[in-house]
Amino acid sequence: MKKYQLVLFIILFTGFPGRIDSQLKTIQNPPEGEENLNVLASWIRWNNPGSFLINHLIKEADKYYDLRDAEVSNLKTADDWRLRQKWVSKKLNELVGPFPLKTPLNPRITGTIRKEGYRIEKIIYESMPEFYVTGCLFIPGGIRNKVPAVLNVIGHNQESFRAELYQTVILNLVKKGIVVFAIDPPGQGEHVQYYDPDIKFSSIGYSVIEHCYFGNQCFLSGSSAARYFIWDGIRAIDYLLSLKYIDPERIGVTGFSGGGTITSYLAAFDDRIKVSVPCSWATASRRQLETKGAQDAETEFIGGVAEGITFEDLLEVRAPKPTLLTSVSRDEYLTLQGAREAYAEASKAYQALGASDNLKLTEDDSKHWMTPKIRTEIYGFFMKHFNLPGTPEEETIEIIPSNDLKITPTGQISTSLGGKMIFDINREESSILIQNLEKARMNTETHLESVREKAMKLSGFIPPEETDRKSFINGRYQREGYSVEKLTLPGEGNYVIPFLLFVPNDNRGVHTGLIYLHPDGKITEAGPGGEIEKLVRKGFIVAAADLPGTGETRNTATRDLATGYTALLIGKSIVGIQAADICRIARYLKSREDIDPAGIGAVGINEMCIPLIHAAAFDNSINNIILSGSLISYRSVAENRFFRIGLIKREGGGTEHPYEISFSWGVTGSLKGYDLPDLIACIAPRKVILAGLKDHMQEPASEELINKELKFPLSVYALKKASENLEILSSDEKPDLIISRFYNQ
C-alpha cells in the first residue's frame, strides 16, 4: 500500500509518471544562467556598497566630533570660552598658515565709472608680489565723514561680482551709505587661473573645478587652497583701511555660498572685521559630512576635523562680534538642520560673553539662493551695527553690463598682466620640499626608515589586525580548468572587501598567489579569455579585488571629490585605506595552504599602482609587485601647471564643466616626507617591475623623466646588490606576459 501511496504522491506533484525522471533531474541540476561576479549581490547587510567608503570616513570623523563636542559641552563661563577662542585661533593659523609677510599692495586704479549717487573705482592690487587681485570699489556719493566699508567675497559664480544677484546686494548696501569692495576670487571673474585665450574660458572648467584642480596640487605640498582666498581678503581689508574716508571701527564682510565660506574664514582670522554675514554656509560640520558631503578644495583644512576644528569654531572664535547667519530650507549643498545646530552651539559662546543679541540666524524657504527676505536682513544687520539711519528695504537698482566692469584691458589678469598664479607660488614652495627630499636621500638608510614612518602617518595607514584575514564565501563558479570563488574580507572599518579568487584545478598543491587590482574593478578582466584567466591557466591563484571606492564599491553616494577630501579632514587618505586593505588580502593569501607564503605578488593597473606601492613598502607579506601604468611621482604633478590624474571626463560637460575632480590618488603633505620613488626604494631588494610609467599628463614618461625620478630607487637597489630586481619596461606589455617572464612561466 505504501508503494501505491508514493506513486500517487509523485503523480500529484509532478504531473504523471512519465515525467518523474526529467523533473527530478531539473531540480537537482538547475540550468546555469549568466555569471554574476558581484560578490555583494542580494546581500542584505551589504546592500549599498557604493556608500562603503564615505560611510567609513564619516564614522571615523564622528569619533573626532564626539571628542570635540564633549569638550565644548564643558564650556560654561566667559573665561572658558576665551580660553577656547585662544586655542582655536592658534590652531587655525597652524592649519592654514603660515601666511606670507605683508608686502606693498602697489594698488592702481584702472578706471572710474560715475553713476547717480555713487561711483566705481576699478582696482588692482598685489596680495603677494606679482600676485594680482582685481576688484571694484563701490563708493557712495557725498561722503563727508568716515564711512563703514564691507568686503564682498563672491561665491562660485564665474562672472564674480558682475552677476546680477551680487550687483543687487552691492548697490543696495551702497545706497545705505556703505562702501563696498568686491574682489575676484581665484578662478573667477578676471582671476581665472588656467585661462585659455583660444576658448576664452578656463581649460580646466568653471570656478569649482579650478579650485579643486590647483587645490589638489596644494594638498600634495601640505597646504590648503583656502590660504590664498583668505590672504587676498586680508589684503583687501588692508587696502580699505588705507583709504582716509573708511572708518576702521566699522569694517564688515559678507559673501554668499562659497563666498559665505570665505566670509567665515576672514571673520575668524582678521580681528579688524567687526561685522560678519556669511550667507548659505553656516552649518554644523558633522551634518555637512553626513548629508551633502565635503565640498570644494578651499573649504577643507588639512586634518581640521582630526584637530578638533569645525565650522562652529569659526563663529565662536569671533564672539561677541556681530554675526548674521542666513540659511534656506531646501539648499542643495547644505542643510537647514546644520545651520540651526551651528547657531545653537555658537549662541552659548555669545551668551557667556554677554552678547546674545549679536548672533542671529535668518531662515527662508528656497533652494540655494539669497532670497529677497535674506537680502533685506543683510542690509538691516549692517545698518544696525554700523549705526546707519534709514530703511533696510531693498531698492531697484540699475544693473551695470558685465563688460563695463572689466578691470584689465583683456578682461583677464593672465593675458593683461601675467604675474603669478596659485600654481606658481605652490611650485616655489614645493621645490623647497623636493630639495629637502633630495638632501635626505643622501643618507640612504636613515631616509628609508623615515620614509616608511612618515608615509604611514601622512597616508593614515593602519596596519591590519590578525582577524582581518577571515574570509566569507558567497558563491562559486566552475569554469574549464579552474573555479571562481566570490569572497569578502573585513576591511579597515565597518565594510567588507569583495574579491574574486581564481583557483586552478591542476592538483599542483602549492601555487603562487597574485593580487590583481584594476581601477575599473575586479570584473574588468575576470571573464573567460581575460587577463586573469590567462594567469590562472599558468598556475597562479589570483585574487581580483575591489578596493574601497572601486568596482562594486565605487562611490555612488556623493561627488567623486568628497571621499578624498573627507579623508584629508581626518588625517587619512584613500590611498592609505586601500593600501591597508591590500595588505589584508596579501595576508589572507599567505594563510592558505595551497599558496606559497613566500611568493605573494601583486599587480596594479594605472591608479591602483599608487596604493599598491604604499602597501608593498609597508608590508613584507607582498614579495613582489608589477606596476602597469603607474604615475611616476607626486613631484611631477606639483611641478607642472597641468596634470591629468584625478580628472574624470564629464559627459556633456562642454567647455564649462569638462571634468569632475578626484583626490583619491593623493596623500596630503606627501612631499614633506616622501614621494612614490622613495617608497619603491623602501621595497628593495624585493622585485619590482615598472611597465609603462606615466607622467603628470598620464602620457608615457620620457626616458629623461624616468632617469630623473628613479635615480634614487635605482641607487638603493644597486646598494643592496639587487639591481636586477628593479626592472623598468618602456612598453605597455600585457600583465600576463610580464608576469610570465617575471616567474619564468
Segment 59-99, tens digit of pLDDT: 999 999 999 999 999 999 999 999 999 999 999 999 998 99
Is 441-633+675-740 in the same CATH topology as 78-186+225-407? Answer: yes
**Those residues with Cβ within 8 angstroms of residue 332's Cβ, 6 or more apart along the chain or in another chain:** 292, 367, 368
Question: What pLDDT is attached to residue 18?
Answer: 40
- Residue 295, pLDDT > 50, answer yes
**441-633+675-740 has which CATH code?**
3.40.50.1820
What is the reported pLDDT for 737?
A: 73
pLDDT at 281: 84
Contact 375, 394 (CB under 8 A): yes
DSSP string, 414-455: HHHT----HHHHHHHHHHHHHHHHHHHTTSHHHHHHHHHHHH
* Per-residue pLDDT reduced to its tens digit, 588-613: 999 999 999 998 999 999 999 999 99
Q: For CA atoms 145, 146, 147, 152, give the dihedral sign.
A: positive
Q: What pLDDT digit, counting tens, does each position of 381-393 carry?
A: 999 999 999 999 9
Rounded Cα gap, residues 7 and 24, in angstroms: 14
Please answer whether residues 147 and 179 qualify as being in contact, where contact means their C-beta atoms are separated by less than 8 angstroms. Answer: yes
**Mean pLDDT, residues 357-370 taken together:** 97
CA–CA separation, 284 vs 155, rounded Å? 19
**CA max distance for the chain:** 118
Give the Cα separation of 127 and 134 in Å (integer). Answer: 10
What are the extents of the domains in the chain?
78-186+225-407, 441-633+675-740
Q: At residue 412, does pLDDT exceed 90?
A: yes
Q: What is the residue-averaged pLDDT of the chain?
A: 93
Q: What residues contact residue 70 under an 8 Å CB cut-off, 6+ apart?
A: none
Residue 468 confidence (pLDDT): 64
Global pTM? Answer: 0.93
Q: Rounded to whole angstroms, how far apart are CA atoms 408 and 399? A: 20
Give tens-digit pLDDT for 215-239: 999 999 999 999 999 999 999 999 9
Cβ-based neighbour number of residue 704 at 10 Å: 8
Burial of residue 365, with CB atoms counted within 10 A of its CB: 0-12 exposed, 13-18 middle, 19 or more buried: exposed
Report the chain's terminal Cα–Cα distance, integer Å: 66
pLDDT, mean of residues 19-44: 64
CB 214 within 8 A of CB 171: no
Residue 135 has pLDDT above 50, yes or no: yes
φ, ψ dihedrals at 117, nearest 5°: 90, -5
pLDDT band at 735 (very low <50, low <70, confident <90, very high): low
Among 371, 403, 368, which residue's Cα sits nearest to residue 159?
A: 403
Residue 199 CA to chain centroid, in angstroms? Answer: 28
| Helix, coil or strand: residue 37 | coil
Q: Which CATH class is domain 78-186+225-407?
A: alpha beta
Task: Give pLDDT tens digits for 255-288.
Answer: 999 999 999 999 999 999 999 999 998 788 999 9
**Residue-level pLDDT at 410:** 97
Q: How far apart are CA 227 and CA 238, in angstroms?
A: 16
Position 507 scores a pLDDT of 83
The string of pLDDT tens digits covering residues 663-711 is: 999 999 999 999 999 999 999 999 999 999 999 999 999 999 999 999 9
- Give the pLDDT confidence score for residue 581 in this predicted structure: 97
Q: Which DSSP string do the residues of 692-740 spell out, in sequence order?
A: S-B-TTSSBPPHHHHHHHSHHHHHHHHHTT-GGGEEEE-S---HHHHHH
| Percent of the chain at pLDDT exceeding 70 | 94
Q: So what's the pLDDT on residue 9? A: 32
Burial 48-84 (b: 16+ CB within 10 A, else e): ebebbbbbbbbebbbebbeebbeebeebeeeeebeeb
